[in-house]
Chain A
């Protein structure tokens, strides 16, 4: 499965994008199995917080950094890499 994460917002407003294929990335495949995008709460409007647009094979969600926990958090940082 193709996983795309786009980070927007933050004080700097600098957008970051990461993409990975779970077919070639066993760690990502395990994370995808543990993530349920339908259960994430909508992002609150916190000034300058990071927002993450997550796309797993066409299933999408927008998550605020304050709500980013557990396997979804691991997935986001794994796909975005360092300082994501």
Chain B
């Protein structure tokens, strides 16, 4: 029996269709319960703005899984506690702080949910574990196998990427499948990269626009895991294969794997963001980043929105911020048509 990944509207249909096979109906309901539990609570509309003078304070907890795959693990560093001497633990703590500071400084956002949510990370997860993920409540990091990947706590943009999955969950709640899933992935890459640029004080033309630079172990033929500037060029290695990302709708990849190619087709909106940001120049988080952030958190997106719908929403946001004929709005419009998304 095939248990493919089905979009939620189809699951809803099957779950409540009296003509459907009872086993299928039960499976659809189980699946809906699962994904609803992972979404937690969707905030409708933006969070009420905090007074501009209030200083937001992070609440970080780093847990150690001690190479097991059990969450959350043992707490090894809480907010304000001194460094532990474990490089992985201390790096995770630092990068959570930088990510928190970025969202406060750039967008006046107080943590993941906009209301001071504690940030929880588990490190040393599993053995030779080549991954990091957001499980709906916290971030989880593996140490990498040391042959293909180094520790996932190393690059700042990995933490930025995972934490932004939390921001998306509490705002647009983009369904993690197909084009809305690729937009969810892209939002995490966009803000992951912006956090790194902000931390390094880089303008759009100085940034590397790479995701996961430093994550590939020595000897692997590649510079990073993804390139927002030139999707499909980040790596080409006999053991890893070739970076499969397209940078244009002409090369859109239809697949059911990876939740419908969410880590593949995210190359298209990633490159759109890069085009908008480099056309506008300066600090990318200020204008292009502001347009993307307001679009993501503005409460107007459907969770199953496609690329064209999201593109139109960014143009509407830019129009609201800068005016219909402004250079910013034109840059956003041209960025989407530049990757083959028609408006």
A residues near B (Cβ < 8 Å) are 6, 8-15, 37-38, 40-51, 53, 59-63, 66, 82-83
User: Given the complex, which residues of B lie within 8 Å of A59, measured CB to CB?
Assistant: 1
Binds A, one of B47-55, B144-152, B284-292: B144-152
User: Given the complex, which residues of B lie within 8 Å of A42, measured CB to CB?
Assistant: 3, 5-6, 27, 30-31, 34
In the complex, residue of chain A having the shortest beta-carbon distance to the beta carbon of B215: A12
Check if B109 is an interface residue, CB within 8 A of chain A: no
Shortest Cβ distance from A75 into chain B, in angstroms?
A: 16
Please report the C-alpha to C-alpha distance between residue A43 and residue B31 in the assembled complex, in whole angstroms.
8
Check if B56 is an interface residue, CB within 8 A of chain A: no
A45-B35, A47-B165, A51-B259 known, 17 other contacts, Cβ within 8 Å: A10-B131, A11-B212, A12-B212, A14-B241, A15-B258, A37-B1, A40-B3, A41-B30, A42-B6, A42-B27, A46-B133, A47-B133, A48-B133, A61-B2, A62-B3, A83-B145, A83-B148
Chain A binding surface, main DSSP class: loop
Of B131, B147, B177, B215, the contact of A48 (CB 8 Å cutoff): B131
Check if B94 is an interface residue, CB within 8 A of chain A: no
Whether A11 and B131, one on each chain, are in contact in the complex, defined by CB atoms closer than 8 angstroms, is yes
Please report the C-alpha to C-alpha distance between residue A44 and residue B133 in the assembled complex, in whole angstroms.
13
Whether A12 and B3, one on each chain, are in contact in the complex, defined by CB atoms closer than 8 angstroms, is no
Please report the C-alpha to C-alpha distance between residue A44 and residue B185 in the assembled complex, in whole angstroms.
16
Shortest Cβ distance from A42 into chain B, in angstroms?
A: 4
Size bracket, chain B contacts: 35 or more
User: Given the complex, which residues of A lie within 8 Å of B226, measured CB to CB?
Assistant: 13
Of B27, B35, B38, B158, the contact of A11 (CB 8 Å cutoff): B158
Of B38, B188, B241, B264, the contact of A46 (CB 8 Å cutoff): B38
Whether A83 and B130, one on each chain, are in contact in the complex, defined by CB atoms closer than 8 angstroms, is yes
Check if B342 is an interface residue, CB within 8 A of chain A: no
Check if B13 is an interface residue, CB within 8 A of chain A: no
Q: Which of A11, A12, A42 has the most CB of B within 10 A?
A: A11
Whether B162 and A51, one on each chain, are in contact in the complex, defined by CB atoms closer than 8 angstroms, is no
Residues 128-153 of B at the A interface (beta carbon under 8 Å): 128-136, 145, 147-149, 152
Whether A11 and B132, one on each chain, are in contact in the complex, defined by CB atoms closer than 8 angstroms, is yes
Please report the C-alpha to C-alpha distance between residue A14 and residue B149 in the assembled complex, in whole angstroms.
11
In the complex, residue of chain B having the shortest beta-carbon distance to the beta carbon of A6: B257
Q: Which of B3, B136, B177 has the most CB of A within 10 A?
A: B3
Whether A47 and B27, one on each chain, are in contact in the complex, defined by CB atoms closer than 8 angstroms, is no
Whether A8 and B258, one on each chain, are in contact in the complex, defined by CB atoms closer than 8 angstroms, is yes
User: Given the complex, which residues of A lie within 8 Å of B2, measured CB to CB?
Assistant: 60-61
Whether B31 and A49, one on each chain, are in contact in the complex, defined by CB atoms closer than 8 angstroms, is no
Of B177, B212, B215, the contact of A45 (CB 8 Å cutoff): B177
Whether A38 and B132, one on each chain, are in contact in the complex, defined by CB atoms closer than 8 angstroms, is no
User: Given the complex, which residues of B lie within 8 Å of A14, measured CB to CB?
Assistant: 225, 240-241
User: Given the complex, which residues of B lie within 8 Å of A43, measured CB to CB?
Assistant: 3, 5
In the complex, residue of chain A having the shortest beta-carbon distance to the beta carbon of B35: A45
Shortest Cβ distance from A30 into chain B, in angstroms?
A: 23
Whether A44 and B1, one on each chain, are in contact in the complex, defined by CB atoms closer than 8 angstroms, is no
Of B128, B176, B241, the contact of A47 (CB 8 Å cutoff): B176
Of B1, B145, B152, B264, the contact of A38 (CB 8 Å cutoff): B1
Check if B110 is an interface residue, CB within 8 A of chain A: no
In the complex, residue of chain A having the shortest beta-carbon distance to the beta carbon of B184: A47
